[in-house]
Structure 1
Amino acid sequence: MPEPIVISIDAMGGDHGPSVVVPGLALGVETWRARGVSFLVHGDQARIEAEMARYPALRPLCEIRHTELVIGGDEKPAQAMRRGKGSSLWNAVEAIREGRAQAAVSSGNTGALMAISKLILRMVTPDLERPAIVVSWPTSRGFTTVLDVGANIDCDAERLVDFAIMGEAYHRAVHGANRPTIGLLNVGAEEQKGRDDVKEAHRLLTEGGLNLNYKGFVEGDDIGKGSVDVIVTDGFTGNVALKTAEGVARFVSAELRAALTSSLVSKIGAFIAQGALRRLRERITPGGGGPLLGLNGIVVKSHGGGDAKGFAHAVGVAADLAQSAFASEIRRNLEQLTAALSEGEAEVAAVASEHKE
Structure 2
Amino acid sequence: MAQTIRISLDVMGGDAGAEVVVPGAALALERHPGITFHLYGDEAIVAPLLEAHPALKQASTLHHCDVSVAMDAKPSQALRQGRWRSSMWRAIEAVKSGEADVAVSAGNTGALMAMSKFCLRTMANIERPAIAAIWPTARGESIVLDVGATIGADAQQLIDFALLGGAMARVLFGIERPTVGLLNIGVEEVKGLEEVRTAGKLLREADLHSLSYYGFVEGDDLGKGTVDVVVTEGFAGNIALKTAEGTAKQIGGYLRSAMNRTWRARLGYLLAKDAFDRLRQKMDPRNVNGGVFLGLNGIVIKSHGGTDAEGFAAAVELAHDMARNDLMPKISQDLLHYHRGRFAARDGSEGDQ
Same fold (TM over 0.5): yes
Q: Deviations over 1:179-199 (max 9, x none)?
A: 321111122222222222112
Partners of 1:175 and 1:184 lie apart in 2 by 19
In the other structure, the counterpart of 2:186 is: 188
Seen in structure 2, the aligned counterparts of structure 1 residues 9 and 279 have a Cα distance that, compared at 3 Å, is farther
The 8 Å contact of residues 291 and 302 in structure 2, kept in 1 or not, is answered as yes
Matched, 1:251 2:256: no
Shift of 1:125: 3.2
Q: Tell me which residue corresponds to 1:336.
A: 337
After TM superposition, give the deviation of residue 270 of structure 1 in Å. 4.2
Judged with a 3 Å threshold, the aligned counterparts in structure 2 of structure 1 residues 340 and 5 are, in CA distance, closer, same or farther, namely same
Contact 1:160 1:232 in 2 (8 A): yes
**Structure-1 residue corresponding to 2:143:** 145
Q: 1:108 matched to which residue of 2?
A: 107
Correspondence for 1:32: 32
**Letter in structure 1 aligned against 2:76:** A
The answer (yes or no) to whether the contact 1:32–1:38 under 8 Å persists in 2 is no
Structure 2 residue matching 1:306: 3-state secondary structure? coil
Contact 1:21 1:311 in 2 (8 A): yes
| 2:27 counterpart of 1:23 | no
Aligned to 2:46: 48
Greater Cα shift, 300-309 or 332-341: 332-341
- 5+ unaligned residues in a row in structure 2: which ranges? none
Q: Percent identity?
A: 47
Match in the other structure for 2:78: 80
Measure the CA separation in 2 of the matches of 1:156 and 1:261: 50
Q: What aligned pairs does 1:1-357 form with structure 2 within 5 A after superposition?
A: 1-33=1-33, 36-85=34-83, 86-125=85-124, 127-129=126-128, 131-211=129-209, 212-270=211-269, 277=276, 279-284=278-283, 288-346=289-347, 349=350, 354=353
* 1:146 match: secondary structure: strand
Q: TM-score under structure 1 normalisation?
A: 0.91
SS at match of 2:54: coil
CA spacing shift, 1:80–1:269, aligned 2, 3 Å: same
- Pick which of 269-278 and 339-348 moved more: 269-278
Q: List per-residue Cα deviations over 1:208-241 (Å, max 9, x = no partner).
A: 2121222122221111111111111111221121
Q: Residues 170 and 17 (structure 1 numbering): CA distance in 2 closer, same or farther, change over 3 Å?
A: same
Question: 1:164, CA displacement in angstroms?
Answer: 0.9
What is the CA-CA distance between 1:348 and the residue it aligns to?
Answer: 5.6
Alpha-carbon distance between aligned partners in 1 of 2:271 and 2:74, rounded to the nearest angstrom: 46
Shift of 1:6: 1.0
The Cα of 1:285 is off from its aligned counterpart by: 6.0
**2: CA distance between counterparts of 1:292 and 1:72?**
20
CA contact (8 A) 1:42 1:65 kept: yes
Deviation at 1:60?
A: 1.1
CA contact (8 A) 1:209 1:340 kept: yes
